[in-house]
Amino acid sequence: MASLGELERAVMDLLWETQEAVTANTLRDLLAQRPSQGEEAKELAVTTVLTVLSRLEKKGLVERERGIRPHRYQAVTSRAEHTAELMHEVLGTATDREAVLARFIGSVSDGEAATLRKLLGRD
Amino acid sequence: MFWTSYFLALLAVLLAWPVPILLSRARWPARSPFPAMVLWQAVALAGGLSMIGAMLVYGLEPLGDNLVSGLRGLARILFSNGSVDRLGFWHVFALSTAALLAAHLLFTLLVTYVRIQRQRFRHRELLHLLSSPDIERPGTVVINHPTPVAYCLPGGARSVTVLSDGLMDLLEPAELRAVLVHENAHLEQRHHLLLWAFAAWRSALPWLPTSRLAQRSVSSLIEMLADDVALKEVDEATLIKAIMIVASGNPADDPAGAAGEGALAEPAADSVAVAGRLSRLVEPQPPLENARRGLILAAAGLLLAAPTAVLVVPGLLG
């Protein structure tokens, strides 16, 4: 069966797509319907889905509506916002970033970017 | 013992101030980045060693003729309740400062490591959810973002190179290859270890302006080293074009970055690094002659050997 990491990704993809709160049962059914998954995915237990959801909840990616049962789960923020957050880490100018990852090119000033674009004939 | 501490103090001052400034202004590192990188490491290591060594030797002076007998005397005082009378105030002060500085440097190294690892872990986790693996290129993932970005996230077997949609749309296949070879060179040559060490050096000694100079120079040298690896697979024109395209799509106008205090100085440094990289590609200079490279590497070795020898050899001979 797929690793927890893969399942986390599949669950987040579904939550980002549906954009509404769903139950673990619904998620399990949606996961089983996905075309890329083989027979194994259909045997996915609801408890496995719940494990994945609680891991995602701990990471602050998923929130659950308490109060009514069964609990409904939804993504905390959209995929685009998460991507923007990640890119901010990459493009940001914090000194920490320099040691965390190695960027192909650092940021240049607006003026220099414009000059480069002119040289490339893109403006 | 007395002269040893003076020699080490002089060396520490030279390595903390004039030497890094001269080295950061020199033009030859662009021609031969590798020996320059070795020299920077030697300067930082020997600088730290002589700083601590000078104070240690000065403080131990009344206890013995050399480091070994001095340390033995110190151990007697600390563990066997020997008399402290032989040590004056300044000796105790120097010894405490040496111990604190050594602990501070090691601790900062550790803290920086943990902080970097934590950020990388978190980044990798989000990346895993947001990116899709590139089928044609193992170890590479693609993220859905219009800004042309390429970077690598080191992490042993989990090292990954990240490309954005925006980058793949803008670059020709050969230019993309230049970018990938460049990023892969960072991972293969373990540049993240250098970045870690010099980031720690900078946060340990923020009052020493040359620690920032060292970090800047090292970051720009690793880019040159990675460019040189890329040049083995693509020609200069292709790499130049790739750098120009990516740089032109990366103006430093992200609102959060510009709003932050002190953030304004950083893009300028990045720009300088980009300009330096481009100019050595546009007008390639021959690498330094073997003799001069050998001389630089020998100087780096000597820098490390000198404080070590001054500290240890008299003890071994005595």
pLDDT tens across A76-88, in order? 999 999 999 899 8
Is it the case that residue B267 has pLDDT exceeding 60? Answer: no
What confidence tens digit (pLDDT) does each residue in A50-65 have?
Answer: 999 999 999 999 999 8
Which residues of A are less than 8 Å from B195 in CB distance? 98-99, 102
Q: Which residues of A touch B199 (CB under 8 A)?
A: 95-96, 98-99
pLDDT of A41 over the 60 cut: no
Crossing angle of the two packed helices B89-130 and B191-204, in degrees rounded to 10: 130
Question: A-chain residues within 8 Å CB-CB of B191?
Answer: 102
Q: What is the interface pTM, i.e. ipTM, of the complex?
A: 0.87
- The shortest CB-CB distance from B145 to any of A83, A93, A110 is to A83
The mean pLDDT value for B294-308 works out to 96
Q: What is the pLDDT of residue B268?
A: 60
Residues of B with CB below 8 A from A36's CB? Answer: none
* Pairwise CB contact (< 8 Å): B246 & A93: no
- Which of B150, B222, B252 is closest, CB to CB, to A107? B252
> In this predicted model, what pLDDT tens digit does every residue of B211-229 receive, in sequence order?
999 999 999 999 999 999 9
Nearest CA in chain A to B132: A9
pLDDT over 70, % of chain B: 93
Which residue in B112, B150, B270 is closest to A107 by CB distance? Answer: B270
Closest partner residue to A107 (CB to CB) among B115, B242, B267 is: B267
B60 Cα to chain A: minimum distance (Å):
38
Domain A4-75: assigned CATH number: 1.10.10.10
Rounded CA separation B4/B58 (Å) = 8
Q: Is residue B141 predicted with pLDDT exceeding 50?
A: yes
Average pLDDT, chain A: 84
Domains of chain A, by residue range, sit at: 4-75, 79-119
**In DSSP terms, which residues pair with B125 in a beta bridge?**
none
Q: Could you tell me which residues are beta bridge partners of residue A23? A: A72
Distance from CA of B86 to the nearest CA of A (A): 46
Mutate to test the interface with B, among A104, A109, A110 (most CBs of B within 10 A): A104
Q: Which pLDDT does position A121 carry in this prediction?
A: 78
Q: Residue ranges per domain, chain B?
A: 1-87+288-318, 132-287
Chain B residues close to A52, C-beta within 8 Å: none
**pLDDT of res. B275:** 85
**8 A C-beta contact, residue B163 and residue B143:** yes
Q: Which residues contact B166 (CB under 8 A, 6 or more apart)?
A: B145, B146, B147, B148, B149, B249
Across the interface, do B260 and A93 touch by the CB < 8 Å criterion?
Answer: yes
Whether B257 sits inside 8 A of A92 (CB atoms) is: yes
Q: Which residues of B49-62 are buried (b: 16+ CB within 10 A; e: fewer)?
A: bbbbbbbbbbbbbe
How far apart CA B9 and CA A114 sit, in angstroms, is 49
With CA atoms as reference, the chain B residue closest to A103 would be: B151
pLDDT at residue A123 in the model: 60
Per-residue confidence at A95, pLDDT binned at 50, 70, 90?
Answer: low
Instruction: Give me the pLDDT at residue B45, please.
Output: 96
B247-285 burial: b if 16+ Cβ within 10 Å, else e: bbbbbbebeebeeeeebeebbebbbebbebbbebbeeee
CB atoms within 10 A of CB B79: 8
C-alpha closest to that of A109 among B220, B183, B270: B270
Confidence of residue B254 (pLDDT cuts 50, 70, 90): very low
Q: How far apart are CA B51 and CA B5, in angstroms?
A: 10
Q: Is B274 close to A106, i.e. CB distance below 8 A?
A: yes
